[in-house]
Structure 1
């Protein structure tokens, strides 16, 4: 009886073992698939977290850049006011002493004698007296305008109606301060010539009488 019970118990144990082994063997691929999916899900979650983190960092950088650009936008009068308020300013002569002594006072003397109704402007921005024929919305017109707009002439003689009669450049000790000066001067000359405005260049050591003669030759 005891042997019989032992045999039955052993049979049940062996059957359970075999059944468990088969189940384990059959479910092994499924478990492998589940672990693989879990690993993939974990990796995807990490990628999504990294993406969100990077997106947040990029958004902060973009907002910071936009804020800086907004604060430095010179087209905004409020920024202009802030910059001017924060910076120390002082008055200075618009033209240097050499230019005033050699040319300005002689120009005034010549104008009083030859054309008393004329007036003299100095350091005049070319955008104020040279315009293009094209419409303001024309891209080529805008490009041409911005090419000469920031450039200035040392002196501008205008008649009694305000029309430009002569541009005068003084090539003194402050002339050609950098490598691009000649190129800028070429642009300036081209714009003046196309606008029909004569240009007179006066060198540093030009005698007074020679200056008067050149002015008269350009503006009879």
Structure 2
């Protein structure tokens, strides 16, 4: 039995333009075939460099947003010399870590941490990227990396940590004008969902919160080992977030 092979396709090769170009420069057909991989590699490298430079120019043109935007998205520039150029050309002054209303809350939380004792600590303006991390059991590596980036620059007003440095209470002070736009609302929603996935409820304090109401909320919504309130004490009107 004999087999008849199919005739080869007469369609031009995808790299024939490159071969024609090289032959037009005086290279023989054999030399052109040998140089084609090198030429293609050089074209890929050149294209990548063009895209990198274009992306860098876009980032430079974006510059920096206002202080609140920096706090949640971070600087858009990527090279250390750009940061140094901006810092060298600016003047700096100290600013308070907390505003006046937030500063009123801090000693209340510190008193509660002292009541718990055993090495519990209160910290302010805590970066969520330092205390939470997307787990490896759900989603691809790229998805986990993007999820970590989504929370990396977001901050909590206050957080209470156990002696191991693990967060046990996340506290946000919802002062007047806190939700003035959809972006601010979504920012808080992202914080709340990331914390919920980690088994932590976001305790949201209203402007009129006092020491007694803050303590009751922490008793209700966190795992802080606080003493039970007295039977005649009013209960906080809040409920534990559903578990994931």
1:90–1:132 CA distance, 2 compared to 1 (3 A): same
Contact 2:127–2:153 at 8 Å: present in 1 too?
yes
Residue 69 (structure 1) aligned with residue 71 (structure 2): no
RMSD of aligned Cα (Å): 2.7
Residue 130 (structure 1) aligned with residue 132 (structure 2): yes
Structure 1: runs of 5 or more not aligned: 1-61
Give 1:68 deviation, angstroms.
7.3
Q: Distance in 2 between matches of 1:128 and 1:67?
A: 28
Residue 198 of structure 1 is matched in structure 2 by: 201
Residue 26 of structure 1 is matched in structure 2 by: none
Contact 1:126–1:151 at 8 Å: present in 2 too?
yes
Structure 2: runs of 5 or more not aligned: 1-49, 61-75, 226-244
The answer to which of 84-93 and 207-216 deviates more is: 207-216
Residue 109 of structure 2 is matched in structure 1 by: 107
Q: Within 5 Å, which residues of 2 pair with 1:71-90?
A: 72=60, 74-90=77-93
1:78–1:130 CA distance, 2 compared to 1 (3 A): same
TM-score, scaled to structure 2: 0.57
Q: Within 5 Å, which residues of 2 pair with 1:5-154?
A: 69=57, 72=60, 74-101=77-104, 103-115=105-117, 117-134=119-136, 138-154=141-157
Q: Helix, strand or coil: the match of 1:180?
A: helix
Give 1:194 deviation, angstroms.
0.5
TM-score, scaled to structure 1: 0.63
Q: Helix, strand or coil: the match of 1:88?
A: coil
Q: Which one has a bigger Cα radius of gyration?
A: 1
More helix per residue: 1
Residue 176 (structure 1) aligned with residue 179 (structure 2): yes
